Chain A
Amino acid sequence: MEKNILKKDHVRPFLRKLARNSRLIAPLRTSHGDLLYQEIESIDSSEIDLSEQPQESAKQFLFPQQEQLFTYQSTSNGFTFSPRKSGMPTVLFGLRSCDISAILYMDVIFLRSPRDHYYLQKRKDTIIIGIGCNEPWDNCFCNATRTGPFLEIGFDLQLTDLGDRFYVESGRAVGDEILKKWPQFFSPVTDEDEKLRYQLMLEARSGFKRHVHVETAFQKIADNSVSPSVWEHLARRCDGCGGCAYICPTCTCFTIFDRPLSPHTGERLRTWDACTHDGFTRMAGGHNPVNTATDRLKRRFMHKLYFDYKQFNRPGCVGCGRCVGICFGGVDIAMFVDMVCAEKRDQRQNATVIGDLLIEAGLITRKQLYKALEKRDRTGMPLGNILMEMGIVTKEDIANCLADKVERP
């Protein structure tokens, strides 16, 4: 694949040509000082800012927070449904490696059978120009999810910031074409550029401030050795606001609803939804198969770190660290992984220690423990009493387990 140098002075004229008939998305600073990927109205009066990780991912440009699916109109002889034409050629410029990896993840979810028409319409004419991260930010852990700081695939072009110029490599045929089509903006790569880039990549890899052991967490979940107290602890701090899901570049759940616009017309919309909302799984009549905050968090983290791993051989988290910054309860995925990995017996709460000991002794199953914990949350009864009431263990069982524990070194 082709490599070239793009002088920083040339970025603006290059984008002017490349995005002439497209919507152009790139990181811009707002008047409040936030850095966000935004649609650029005029390239000449906008200052693209590639100095840091944008606060939100680029998810919304392929999968908008709210999107019309179609309008309906009812008449005396039936309905007319008019689907929304949702495609437009798009250039995504300056995407971080995590955000590109998240698009690859969305491709898997939305483009397997059956394909999501609205996503496909936007995705199929999208050019992705990424930028590697020379300096990972405080919460980043894409090294652990293997989604950065530089990518091998997934981009059309990938930039590396060499100071006054970008090193540009093409990752796909589309990228090659772009480089060929506008040679006036590009110059050949020198040995010195190669060396500098190599050096920067090495430094970036060793520049992570956080070490989030995602694979260890997967293994622990797979071995069924995550103590219920971890989920519980996190659940107590979760307010179910859904912020983590909205900010997450790989959270793709949505809900569908109708909005009447007049007695005979209206639109069907979809909006982002979050599995941490208690209504997410509630059914008519109030029955809810995922009924507690513990169950919901378990579902969320298991999905990203276990089921996605099993199904796609990589986690559903791209290590962007955004949920770390957004959750005011500190219930983020990095915290979860840290807790799972750091877990030590003496840090656990008493009640769940009993639960875990009973499981270890083979006297109860994990499922029975969760049931009992759920009841404890509802009634405030001590866990041991609940398990006895459920007829699963006897007083002696509990006493023996605790005695064993005391004797242990």
Chain B
Amino acid sequence: MMETGTMRESMRNAVTDNVFMPNETVISEIIEENSTIRTYTLRFTDRAAAFSFLPGQFVMLSVPGHGEAPISISSSPTSTDAIQLSVRRAGRLTSALHSMKAGEYVAVRGPYGVPFPVDELKGRDLLFVAGGIGLAPLRSLINYCRAKNGEYGKITLCYGSRSPSDIAFKNDLDAWQADGSVDVRLTVDVPERGWQGRTGLVTTLLDDLTINNSNSSALLCGPPVMIDAVISKLKESGMDSEQIITTLERNMKCGVGLCGHCHMEGVLICKDGPVFNVRTLENIMGATG
């Protein structure tokens, strides 16, 4: 399945030969996920520019005048004719986006990167572990799996936030719990008044779970410290590193393997990633100590 994404990419590039040109989209809806994260629904004004993608892929988002930034597609490819991006206000471009309203225009080019191995994951129990904005790419995959009724095993999500009021994607969390499609478990670093849930790092949620290692895969996205902690915990509990899948974040300028910014130990994260299984990462890092 990884092949499909790349093949599609090369075919598309054969048609539109200038990869740097973005396509105009209009913001059709904005969801306020928390005080710093908003989900933008984007529609291509030229329908011919719409693309198909798989969960885990990203686009280069343009706010002309403010440049470009890599942003994961947070909607599922099973919902058509628009894409969603969930964006945390972090700097120049993302702040410019946050000041925009529905009806205004931005532009995107993509989709780029290796997606989650959706075919290989079929039939397996899926453990999602996310922190903060890290739920964005996983949201795409979770909704994809839900839409492919019965093709995937049991879905569990462990989601960590800084505080109860920082918990993002509440609509999704509620919907997933309401229809029982996802076993949602939350934790916060810093509790607030009235919070009855768990407090502590997302790894503490893992202690509650009994994971059937032979038929489970874990999908992680979040801050580097969280990822490291979760990987060691899962490996300790016997999960094969090939079944632990994560996404890497790097400064990216081109998104297509040309600019060199995302180079890591001989690998280009934008093209060879951002999705990697931990076994592959260990090999990459191990190659040079």
Contacts and interface: CB of A to CB of B under 8 A. Distances in A.
26 contacts: A70-B20, A74-B65, A78-B26, A79-B107, A83-B18, A113-B10, A114-B10, A117-B18, A118-B20, A252-B260, A254-B253, A255-B259, A256-B68, A256-B259, A257-B67, A258-B66, A266-B64, A266-B65, A275-B260, A283-B251, A299-B263, A302-B265, A306-B266, A306-B288, A311-B266, A365-B289
B249 A260 contact: no
B21 interface: yes
B90 A79 contact: no
Given A254-B259, A302-B265, 19 more contacts: A78-B26, A79-B107, A81-B21, A81-B107, A113-B10, A114-B258, A252-B260, A254-B254, A256-B68, A257-B67, A260-B65, A268-B67, A270-B259, A273-B253, A280-B251, A281-B250, A283-B251, A284-B91, A284-B94
Contacts of A311: 266
Interface in A255-273: 255-258, 260, 266, 268, 270, 273
B105 A79 contact: yes
Contacts of B52: none
Contacts of B261: 253, 255, 273, 280-281
A287 interface: yes
Given A78-B26, A258-B64, A281 B251 contact: yes
A260 B92 CA distance: 14
A367 interface: yes
A83 B254 contact: no
Contacts of B263: 275, 299, 303
Interface in B162-194: none
Contacts of A366: 289
B128 to A, nearest CB: 23
A310 B94 contact: no
A241 B22 CA distance: 32
Interface of B: 9-10, 13, 17-22, 24, 26, 45, 64-68, 90-91, 94, 105, 107, 224, 249-251, 253-254, 256-261, 263-266, 285, 288-289
- Which one of A69, A253, A303 has the highest number of Cβ atoms from chain B below 10 Å of its Cβ? A253
A116 B266 contact: no
Nearest to A289: B250
A283 B265 CA distance: 18
A258 B65 contact: yes
Interface residues of A, number: 50
A253 B268 CA distance: 12
Contacts of B285: 367
Contacts of B13: 113-115
Interface of A: 69-70, 72, 74, 78-79, 81, 83, 109-110, 112-118, 221, 224, 252-258, 260, 266, 268, 270, 273, 275, 280-285, 287, 289, 299, 302-303, 306-307, 310-311, 365-367
Contacts of A79: 24, 64, 105, 107
- Which one of B10, B266, B288 has the highest number of Cβ atoms from chain A below 10 Å of its Cβ? B288
A74 B64 contact: yes
B254 A256 contact: yes
Contact of A224 (B21, B256, B289): B289
7 residue pairs, one from A and one from B, having the closest CB atoms? A253-B260, A366-B289, A284-B90, A307-B266, A117-B18, A114-B13, A72-B64
B21 A70 contact: yes
A83 B21 contact: yes
A110 B258 contact: yes
Contacts of A307: 265-266
A273 B259 contact: yes
Nearest to A367: B289
Contacts of B94: 284
A205 B217 CA distance: 58
A361 to B, nearest CB: 16
Nearest to B25: A78
A78 B288 contact: no
A113 B289 CA distance: 30
A115 B250 CA distance: 22
Contacts of B249: 283
B121 to A, nearest CB: 26
Given A113-B13, A114-B13, A253-B260, A283 B224 contact: no
A302 B19 contact: no
Contacts of A118: 20
A270 B288 CA distance: 31
A268 B18 CA distance: 14
A218 to B, nearest CB: 12
